[in-house]
Amino acid sequence: MSTGPIQAKIEECLNRELTPNMLEIVNESYMHGVPKNSETHFKVLVVSEKFNGLSLIQRHRIVNNHLKEELKTEFPHALSIVAKIPTEVDGEYKLEPSPNCRGGFGK
């Protein structure tokens, strides 16, 4: 699957702002009731030294704040964030697959 413009901006922003040891961005839009090639649902794994000493909520806020500035008019509908420091992962760490979309409202 090719990288779309929003995913590319997410990658560029997080690489620039957080200089991650590991970065994985998954466009999960295809799992939802959106048009083909949409960029509405993302899952992000970012491992960075810049998260040292920060709580999980602080890490998430940093990621969200950087992306909100970068994607002012194109912010995705859903953004799942896994934010870790290098000592919390090994070199083989991978994102867990998300569950299938239930169509909203628990359907």
Which domains, from first to last, does the chain contain? 5-88 (3.30.300.90)
Contact present, 66 and 39 (Cβ < 8 Å): no
String of DSSP letters for 33-49? SS-TT---EEEEEEE-G
* Residue 1 banded pLDDT, cuts 50, 70, 90: low
Contact present, 10 and 24 (Cβ < 8 Å): no
Please tell me the pTM assigned to this model: 0.84
**Tens of pLDDT, residues 14-27:** 999 999 999 999 99
Mean pLDDT of the chain: 88
Q: 41 or 1, which is more confident?
A: 41
The two tokens of residue 6 are 């929003």
**Tens of pLDDT, residues 35-59:** 888 888 899 999 999 999 999 999 9
